[in-house]
Structure 1
Amino acid sequence: MRGLHIVGGNQLTGTVTAHGAKNAVLPILAATVLCKHSTIVNCPDLSDVAVSCHILQHLGYRVQRQQSTLTIAREEEGCRDVPPEWMRAMRSSILFLGGMLARCGRITLCPPGGCALGGRPIDLHLSALRQMGAVITEEGDTLRCTAPGGLHGAAVQLPYPSVGATENLLIAAAGTPAETKIIGAAAEPEIIDLIAYLQSCGAFIEYQPGGNLLVQGRRELPGCLHRVLPDRIEAATYLAAAAITGGKITVHANPAHLAAPLAVLRRMGCSITAEENAISLAAPERLQGAGSVVTLPYPGFPTDLQAIFMALATAAEGYTTFTETVFPRRWAHVEELRRMGADITVAGSHAVVRGAPLSGAALTCTDLRAGAAVALAALAAEGESTVTAISHIERGYADFVPTLRTLGAEITLTEV
């Protein structure tokens, strides 16, 4: 099992270009089942992307990678189910449901796996697809999904702007030759990127007032060439790495997608300059507590940065409070940060952090973003730290260790 050895205390300085967004490319790869041929540019080399490629190959698609470009072509017209081992490998595997129902009218799969972040039911996905004519029965750990006569258009009201449910609906609607209205859709940049891909493939998708989407799908989409947008979560992680170590950094990404995290960094004392496609940060001599941080759907503060910014708060002077509204039990990283001396009190969906000196410790990654958070805390801690179970980090960060080393971190891969 691979791990990390980190010696804290080095300031991180330099320039980073964000890879393609994990949370954009995974739904786009799921949507390629609607197409004969697609070329996806700026595709990060992540373990979750590899799982998506394995699923596509099993479903009858040829997948070829050349550097950061994936070429996906349908070779078999038949329909297959997704094997349980691939479904359980990542959360985003559920996004193949909408596309395969639209194209084949049936699919059998099991509930998805991925990071354990507390309750993340797929009920919204299932109830939304049922409104389009899907018949879904749950038999133990198996979901048998059919669409007798094919999916049909519908006006689907989402009770919450769920990113995953919005993506599954968009994909299913794009492959259904009818009009579907999605009411209360999520509006994350990754959703907009999926829409851009589907539009380029030939689906008609119209933005309507109030956050609604109108989709006119087609039975067969020809496909397209699409460039994935930069990863805002990765970009913010490297900004945080420079901030927690007292360094300076320029990250090439879209600052418009990071308004809420940048506001928190400014409250913590960081000097930030935003250009069209770049963000420069200079850390203060000592970070200050950020006050209140509340996770919310976009354009609010992203839940995927909660753990990473909590690591920042542990090294800051003063108090920071976190309210987790998206995944209220997303606190697995707290115990790991406490091993380093962090002063964190958790009550329900709230956590209060008082800055305190951090010391190196033996740590483990409990999920993707928690793993990045403990690695950043170790970079700022006094002494040496070890981090195990880094397969979690590799699910969402390409070239994590080489990038940090280039910025000046003393970090090495180990076999444990």
Structure 2
Amino acid sequence: MTGNEDVLLVHGGTPLEGEIRVRGAKNLVPKAMVAALLGGEPSRLRNVPDIRDVRVVRGLLELHGVTVRTGSEAGELVLDPSNVESADVADIDAHAGSSRIPILFCGPLLHRLGHAFIPGLGGCDIGGRPIDFHFDVLRQFGATIEKRPEGQYLEAPQRLRGTKIKLPYPSVGTTEQVLLTAVLAEGVTELSNAAVEPEIEDLICVLQKMGAIISLDTDRTIRITGVDRLGGYQHRALPDRLEAASWACAALATEGSVYVHGASQREMLTFLNTYRKVGGAFAVEDDGIRFWHPGGPLKAIALETDVHPGFQTDWQQPLVVALTQASGLSIVHETVYESRLGFTEALNQMGAHIQLYRECLGGTPCRFGQRNFLHSAVVSGPTKLQASELVIPDLRGGFSYLIAALAAQGTSRVHGIELINRGYENFMEKLPGLGAKVEAA
């Protein structure tokens, strides 16, 4: 493509038709790469997507002396942590500004080096993701934390010790922090109210392959018995269920048909049920799932997001675009991120009818209900979408804007598409392959 690589012209109104492939989950692969730091031998990770978060973590690992090379098959990385070393503060800051992943380096670096440095963190602006959870957890393991002008400096004067932790909310990031820290800590760590997303289970599988002892109970309690050393791992990352769902919603909103190679039914059960209720069709096959609009009107639904096994918050934004084409009033109650419905303002400018509310419009009150956040939405449809000037706000909201532009009549200018590269591998190549009419501005 030529022209402005960060602005995409989208000529809408054409159904997406064809096949694409999703690789390993964005919410697992970078964390599995960090886990390699804990090992005494090289690790081999397969099904790695070529996305920005992977490149950020690769750069940070290399700064700390980890050798990272591509393997013999496509999407394979070999990570050798034999010579872990301290990294320059300025170099860390330069690599980490656009990602929140660096905070997960804390536990492994404290075990390997006795100290760690964490710069200011970036990420999607969709509501609070307090890193204080992470630092509170690390203090409970015995780390000391000093706030400096350039970031946080952590030390482990002695070997970190296992502890009992109860999370106020099943935070994915904090659960990952505990896992990556507890596996080499002395004694037993008990984590209550843990996140149990499929990507968390896959990270537990990675750590178990390295020699960790981890049990996951049915009441969201994870117990980790610390060991003295870990080895390497060989692992194939589970597929990205969030990307797969995004393409499914794109097929629905544009009245098209998309075969998503690599999509897995097991991790998408809740999404698939909702997709069917809305009126979407799908067929599970050996190598993936085909999603399509079967014709006729889509149906309005009531929807609440929740932690796994509920309806994932990252599925909500792409689906809302499709719900603008459903007949009747759909109700969406966002309970995971308080500001995730802000993206609907741009959809309204395109002709959608979406009203936001501070009240909990779901079956159960949530933690945002008394805090004055616009976290519920009523979507009235169907409404024809018209092309617009769009500025991408965050990763999932950005892909949702892309879906809206593809479904709309006319040509939209979508600004900030580089942000979509954080989690959608080669999407600029996939779009033309599905018949989308897009070009750099």
- TM-score scaled by structure 1? 0.94
Q: Equivalent residue for 1:230? A: 239
Runs of 5+ in structure 1 lacking a partner?
A: none
SS at match of 1:131: helix
Distance 1:353 1:81, change over 3 A: farther
Matching residue within 165, 175, 195 for 2:174: 165
Task: Give distance in 1, aligned partners of 2:118 and 2:411.
Answer: 44
- Which digits, 9 at most, give the CA deviation of each residue in 1:363-387, with x for residues without a partner? 1211111110010011111111121
Identity of aligned residues (%): 37
Letter aligned with residue 384 of structure 2: P
The answer to whether the Cα contact below 8 Å between 1:103 and 1:219 also exists between their aligned partners in 2 is no
Counterpart among 67, 82, 85 of residue 78 in structure 1: 85
Over 3 Å counting, the alpha-carbon distance change for 1:127 and 1:29 in structure 2 is same
Question: What are the equivalent positions in structure 2 for 1:11-410 lying under 5 Å apart?
Answer: 11-35=15-39, 36-66=41-71, 67-80=74-87, 83-139=92-148, 142-252=151-261, 253-275=263-285, 278-347=288-357, 348-355=374-381, 356-410=383-437
Worse-matched range after superposition: 286-295 or 123-132: 286-295
RMSD of Structure 2 on Structure 1 (CA): 1.8
Question: Is contact 1:289–1:318 with CA below 8 Å preserved after alignment?
Answer: yes
* Cα displacement (A) at 1:20: 0.9
Q: C-alpha separation between the residues in 2 aligned to 1:62 and 1:139?
A: 29
Partner Cα separation in structure 1 for residue 51 and residue 106 of structure 2: 22
Question: Which residue identity does 2:22 align to in structure 1?
Answer: A
Task: Give the conservation status (yes or no) of the 8 Å contact 2:334–2:341.
Answer: no
Aligned-pair distance for 1:289?
4.2
Q: Would the alpha carbon gap of residues 77 and 6 (structure 1) be closer, same or farther in structure 2, given more than 3 Å must change? A: closer
Contact in 1 for aligned 2:36/2:81 (Cα 8 Å) = no
| Structure 1 residues 287 and 395, CA gap change in structure 2 (3 angstroms) | farther
C-alpha separation between the residues in 2 aligned to 1:307 and 1:314?
A: 11
Aligned residue-pair number: 414
* Regions of 4+ moved over 4 Å: none
Answer yes or no: is the 8 Å Cα contact 1:134–1:151 preserved in 2: yes
Q: Which structure 2 residue ranges, 5 or more long, are not aligned?
A: 358-373
> Within 2, Cα distance between the matches of 1:44 and 1:145?
31
SS at 2:28 equivalent: helix
Distance in 2, Cα, partners of 1:151 & 1:46: 33
CA–CA distance in 2 between the matches of 1:304 and 1:81?
A: 34
Q: 170-179 vs 351-360, which deviates more?
A: 170-179
Matched AA of 1:71 = V
How far 1:211 moved relative to its partner?
Answer: 1.8
| SS of aligned partner of 1:78 | coil
Name the structure 1 match of 2:366. none
Cα drift, residue 286 of structure 1: 4.5
Query: Conserved in 1, the CA contact under 8 Å of 2:264 and 2:288?
Result: yes
Tell me how far 1:140 sits from its aligned partner. Answer: 5.0
Q: Deviations over 1:64-98 (max 9, x none)?
A: 12431111112524333662233321122211112
Specify the code of the residue in structure 1 equivalent to 2:376.
Answer: H
Secondary structure, in 3 states, of the residue corresponding to 2:107?
A: helix
CA distance in 2, matches of 1:23, 1:366: 19
Whether the aligned pair in 1 keeps the contact of 2:84 and 2:112 (CA below 8 Å) is no
The one-letter amino acid of 1:114's match is G
Partner-residue secondary structure (3-state), 1:211 = coil
d(CA) in 2 for partners of 1:271, 1:231: 20
Aligned residue for 1:22, secondary structure, equals coil
